[in-house]
Amino acid sequence: MLPTTRPTTTAGTAVLLGGLLVAALAGCAGPADQDRPRARNTEAAAPAKPVRAATPPALPGMPPVLDPKDIYAADRPGRLAPAVRNFPPRVYVPNTSSNTVSVIDPKTYKVIETIPVGNQPQHVVPSWDMKTLWVNNDLGDSLTAIDPATGRTGRTVEVSDPYNLYFTPNGKYAVVMASMDRELVFRDPRTMDRVKTVPVTCAGVNHADFSADGRYFIVSCEFSGELLKVDTERMKVVGQRKLPRAGAMPQDVKLSPDGKTFYIADMMAHGMWVLDGEKFTAPKLLPTGKGCHGLYVSRDSREMYISNRGEGSVSVFDFARNRLTKKWHLPDGGSPDMGGVSADGKVLWLSGRYDAEVYAIDTGSGKQLARIPVGGGPHGLAVYPQPGRYSLGHTGIFR
């Protein structure tokens, strides 16, 4: 993320330690009971039934998980939902310094259109129903709609500080990451009318991902080096944790296919944090490369591509082996930032944040396929359409 000129307010960092421990004690006698005479029981006691912890239900209204072992099971190559099946394949690149969106034809690797939008567009975000692309005009305090069927812009909606945008898994709310306003703002996902504002005490809320059951989501706070845990249904921060490294700057957040682990890229720690979201205990750092920034799961859910913006490389993480297996270096360097994987899973698209270009990388070999000039400061590009049943937002998190 690039610093903006929006004025900020000073707020202290608070640590929210929430939680209620309930201990159910049955059939345990205290000292007074031990001294009291007891009636003799002539009947054999029935064996106690084992008590199993109930599995928390999924977020109400959320589509059922297709495969509990793989939350990305709906994202297989070419598995396009009916709503997006006829959309032309395009790569939409928001240029923060040029106030435009460059539209790339992925077949020719050429920019075919440049769309004027609002001030400092940061990300292009697919809506929950996947029918609209929202351009986040951060300093323009607005969202601009693009129809992915035609490539034409639609309405522009006034929204304060929309650095990034997410959608709850049940499609009930849009969640604006208002970074400089220090707020999480829950909105109607169609009208973008404000529903509830959640002030936060950390600085630079920007990226997130949801738990497998949709009950909570983890948010990165870039400028204060913190993580938040937010209850989705109650729209409430229920946990806050400082990352265990001075100067940490967390970025993208991604949940593992088995739904057990969150990974958080950190551009100053030069790696990704590995977090148990349920326990929300101190995460561990896995070094990947200088300027670790974006996280993208492969179409077969076996690997994750990690952009290292500070060294012009992409690290590849193997989920089953729980380790890094490859590193691809861009020819002539570069600044790979945010992006996504093509619908067939064969190409990783990343913006070159400081080089006014976009990279197309073969996911089989790591070879650079194209280096495409675009506007100034390209950031959260969206590869569209993509497989999946619904969108959780950002540049495309589909389940």
Task: Check pLDDT > 80 for residue 105.
Answer: yes
Q: Is 0.85 topped by the overall pTM?
A: yes
pLDDT confidence tier of residue 11, bands split at 50, 70 and 90: very low
Q: How confident is the model at residue 55, as a pLDDT?
A: 56
- Asked if the structure places residue 86 within a domain, the reply is yes
- Asked if the structure places residue 30 within a domain, the reply is no
Q: How confident is the model at residue 56, as a pLDDT?
A: 67
- Asked if the structure places residue 19 within a domain, the reply is no
pLDDT confidence tier of residue 57, bands split at 50, 70 and 90: confident
Domain with 153 in it = 73-384
Q: How confident is the model at residue 307, as a pLDDT?
A: 98
Q: Which residue, chain included where needed, has tokens 């359409």?
A: 385
Calculated CA dihedral for residues 4, 167, 384, 369, nearest 10 degrees: 60
Task: Check pLDDT > 90 for residue 67.
Answer: yes
Task: Check pLDDT > 70 for residue 32.
Answer: no
- Mean pLDDT estimate for the chain: 89
- Asked if the structure places residue 310 within a domain, the reply is yes
- Asked if the structure places residue 171 within a domain, the reply is yes
- Asked if the structure places residue 165 within a domain, the reply is yes
**Structure tokens given for 279:** 């326990």
Q: How confident is the model at residue 175, as a pLDDT?
A: 98
For residues 293-311, average pLDDT: 98
- Asked if the structure places residue 37 within a domain, the reply is no
pLDDT confidence tier of residue 234, bands split at 50, 70 and 90: very high
Task: Check pLDDT > 50 for residue 334.
Answer: yes
Q: How confident is the model at residue 41, as a pLDDT?
A: 38
Domain count, the chain: 1
Phi, psi angles (nearest 5°) of residue 34: -70, -30
For residues 171-200, average pLDDT: 98
Contact 255, 262 (CB under 8 A): yes
- Asked if the structure places residue 259 within a domain, the reply is yes
Q: How confident is the model at residue 305, as a pLDDT?
A: 98
The CA-based angle 45-48-54, given to 5 degrees, is: 160
CATH number of the domain encompassing residue 105: 2.130.10.10
Provide the percentage of residues in the chain whose pLDDT is more than 70: 86
